[in-house]
Amino acid sequence: MPKKLLLLPPLSVSSSFRALRARPAAFPTMNAARTGYRVFSANSTAACTELAKRITERLGAELGKSVVYQETNGETRVEIKESVRGQDIFIIQTIPRDVNTAVMELLIMAYALKTACARNIIGVIPYFPYSKQSKMRKRGSIVCKLLASMLAKAGLTHIITMDLHQKEIQGFFSFPVDNLRASPFLLQYIQEEIPNYRNAVIVAKSPDAAKRAQSYAERLRLGLAVIHGEAQCTELDMDDGRHSPPMVKNATVHPGLELPLMMAKEKPPITVVGDVGGRIAIIVDDIIDDVESFVAAAEILKERGAYKIYVMATHGILSADAPRLIEESSIDEVVVTNTVPHEVQKLQCPKIKTVDISLILSEAIRRIHNGESMAYLFRNITVDD
C-alpha cells in the first residue's frame, strides 16, 4: 500500500514573516557580517609572551585564553579555554632556545584550534625555525620543507614571518606566506641612533651577504665594503647531495669515460674590498647566532682603520657564549629586533640593543583579518631586500 503523506496546513505569508522576525537573535543569518578574530600565544613563558602582549596592545584586543605546558614526562599539552568557532585565529609563536618544544607547541595548538572549528588559523612566526636547513647537505634532508608540510597538516592556512633566511622557502608551503622585512626599522635606527652615520660604510661579512649590504648602502646613500678570504666559511662551501656517493680510491671507472676533474677551491688571504679607514663600520646580516664570524670581522675592520663597529641583524638568537664574546670583542653595539626573546643575553651584555617590530606584525594581522591588501607593508621593497 502506498504511504500516506501527512499534509500540514500552510502558513500565510504574514504569519511566515512574523515567525522569521521573531527569531533573528537565536538564528543569525550566515552572511550577516565578517567573523571576529582572536590572538593566542603558543608559549606560556613570560619572555615569549612579551611580543604577543605588545601586538595585542596595538590591536586593542586581549590575548586569547589558553594553557600551554609540559607534563612531567615531557609531553606538550595545549588547552583552549574559550570558543573559537568560525573565527580568524592568529597564533603568535616566538622561538626560544628550545626550538623543538616551540615547534610542538605551535603544531598542537594549531590542531586544537582546527578541531575547535576555527575559520582560519594564521601562524605569526617572526623567526621561522630550521630555515638554515633549506638545502640538501650530503645524505641529510631539507628539514624546512618537512616543517612546512607539518604546519599545513596541523591546520595552518596562512603564515606571517619576517626575513626568511632564504626567500625560496616560501615555495615549500601549500598556503600563502607573507615574508615581512625588518630593514625599515633597522634603517630608522641607524639614522636616529648612530651619531654621524653619514661617515659610515655598510659592510658584508661575506660575499653571500653582499646583496643585503648593498640594499642598505643604496638606501642610506653610503659606501659598501665586503670581507672576503680564508677566515670565512659559507654555506655554499658545504657538500651537498651532488657530491654523493663519496669518492673511493679504488673505484672502477667505465672504460672510455673520462670526466673533467673539478679543481679544488682555494680562498685568497682575508681582505676587505672597500675603504673603511676612519669610518664607522656597520655590519648587516639576517641572523646573528654564533658570533665568532662577526667578532673576526670586527677585528679585521679595526685593523683596517674603522673607529666604531656596529652589527645589525633581524634575528638575535645569540646562542652559547655569544654575550660574553660580544662584550670582549671590538664590536661597539649589536642591534637586533625582538623576533626572538633575548632578555637574558641583554642582561649579560649591555652592548645588545633591541628594536621593536610589533607595529608591522600587528598591522599585518589587522589587514589579513579585514581582507585588505598587504602591498602597503611591502612598498619600496625589492627582491634583494
| Domain containing residue 324: CATH number | 3.40.50.2020
**Grid cell at residue 116:** 575547535
Domain boundary, last residue among 157, 180, 203: 180
Which domain range does residue 161 map to? 38-180
CB 152 within 8 A of CB 174: yes
Count of the separate structural domains present in the chain: 2
Does residue 205 share a domain with residue 63? no
Q: What is the pLDDT averaged over residues 105-118?
A: 96
Q: What is the pLDDT averaged over residues 248-257?
A: 60
Residue 253's pLDDT band, with cuts at 50, 70 and 90, is low
Does residue 340 share a domain with residue 191? yes
Q: CA 329 to CA 324: how far, in whole Å?
A: 9
CB 86 within 8 A of CB 120: no
Q: What is the DSSP letter of 134?
A: -
Whether the per-residue pLDDT at 29 is higher than 60: the answer is no
Does residue 124 share a domain with residue 77? yes
Is residue 12, in this structure, part of any structural domain at all?
A: no
Does residue 281 share a domain with residue 321? yes
Closest by CA to 235, choosing from 212, 206, 272, 211, is 206
Whether the per-residue pLDDT at 223 is higher than 90: the answer is yes
**Bond before 245 cis per omega within 30 degrees:** yes
Q: How far is CA 166 from CA 122, 135, 259, 280, 315, in A?
A: 21, 10, 33, 28, 14
Domain boundary, last residue among 116, 149, 180: 180
Whether the per-residue pLDDT at 68 is higher than 90: the answer is yes
pLDDT at residue number 155 = 96
Does residue 197 share a domain with residue 339? yes
Q: What is the pLDDT averaged over residues 336-345?
A: 94
pLDDT at residue number 58 = 95
Whether the per-residue pLDDT at 336 is higher than 70: the answer is yes
Is residue 260, in this structure, part of any structural domain at all?
A: no
Residue with cell 590572538: 39
Whether the per-residue pLDDT at 263 is higher than 60: the answer is yes
Does residue 284 share a domain with residue 167? no
Q: What percent of the chain has pLDDT over 90?
A: 69
Does residue 171 share a domain with residue 53? yes
User: Is residue 345 within a helix (H) or strand (E), and if so which, with residue range?
Assistant: helix 343-348
pLDDT at residue number 266 = 75
Does residue 340 share a domain with residue 195? yes
Q: Indicate yes or no: pTM above 0.85.
A: no
Q: Exposed/middle/buried for 367, CB within 10 Å: 0-12, 13-18, 19+?
A: middle
